[in-house]
Structure 1
């Protein structure tokens, strides 16, 4: 890092930003194979939270590749850098007092641990979105598994590149056994139970 740089602490801090939003910030990190249901569940949760007046932002794997990470390819080094950038953005958004949701395969524990280390203790919530490879291939919403099996996508997670399952995820969702709404219930219950959000009767259609 450039030696002439220093971190500037502002008078409006994370605690203040979170207080005016009536929530505790956190980073919900959804990890799992392609087709496991990460984006779907994250989307359901964000809609529910936003409808109740909570302040959220969802970072999705494909979306960030259109802008923030458009200069990155899919080499091993580029994939690590992709997750690092998302982690830094998630940290800044959490510092802004938001409940941040991310949906990325993020197959390697070291990359997820790198992001975890960026945030204060307890703010990184690792959510394993778990479905058997066969089920993910059956869904194959983007046709990626078919292309990977045909050799058109090298180093595809679950086919010719490994996925390192979280050893002790904060939340474990079995999407082959529960529908998205039930999985969303599990995550929201966790947020309420641990004081990140409060129960609210206010509902606005989104």
Structure 2
């Protein structure tokens, strides 16, 4: 018997569109993906800072943070990683429905998992941001020593070493985090959002 047989979705009295109107901007999911050390979390928080400064209602879901609570029961096998991303996708969908700009920072190495999250959201409201940095740059930045441990065999199924990373084939945004500055990458994302009329940009980019 299906676990969904005796439950149904309850629609609230406040619509997503009403929340967006009150907030003064659209709600959507910015999904940062890339290798460990590619700068996903740093960039996600910088983008949030710029958007928040402009009056946007935002929240960052960070890979390490969710494993302290929501996903603390999961390991790092392919199956557990798939479940980790599924849970984050469902949470992101709910938060976007609440009118927020949801910013995620997860390696999310498998295309099928990212595509699954995209399918949960209305067209155009899943914005995939590929943080593109060469493996050697990510290893140089590795303050936790994870790549070294992975190469020594101490961390099994480590993305980029013993487990594959499937780069997006057609992401909405590619930021070259191994080459460009943090602010250059952050403003590239913000400019895209403004051009798509997802936000109204009132604070001008420095030296623009």
TM range (shorter): over 0.9
Q: Provide the C-alpha distance between the structure 1 equivalents of 2:29 and 2:144, rounded to a whole number of angstroms.
A: 26
Which among 193, 197, 200 is matched to residue 198 of structure 1?
A: 200
Secondary structure class of the residue paired with 1:115 = helix
The Cα of 1:200 is off from its aligned counterpart by: 1.9
SS at match of 1:127: strand
RMSD: 1.1
Of the three residues 138, 141, 147, the one matched with 2:140 is 138
What number of residue pairs does the alignment pair up?
Answer: 202
Aligned to 1:30: 32
1:52 matched residue in structure 2: 54
- Among residues 12, 15, 23, which one is paired with 2:14 in the alignment? 12
Provide the TM-score with structure 2 as the length reference.
Answer: 0.95
* Mapping of residues 1-206 of structure 1, within 5 Å: 1-201=3-203
| Deviation of 1:201 (Å) | 4.4
> Cα deviations across residues 109-165 of structure 1 (Å, max 9, x unaligned)?
000011001111100000000001011011113211011111110000000100101
4+ residue stretches of structure 1 with deviation over 3 A?
A: none
Q: Deviations over 1:14-50 (max 9, x none)?
A: 1111110000011000000000010011010111111
Query: Deviation at 1:91?
Result: 0.4
Report the TM-score, using the length of structure 1 for normalisation: 0.96
Where 1:187 maps in the other structure, the secondary structure is: helix
Q: Which runs of 5+ in 1 are unaligned?
A: none
Q: For residues 201 and 165 of structure 1, do their structure 2 counterparts lie closer, same or farther at Cα, with a shift above 3 Å needed?
A: closer
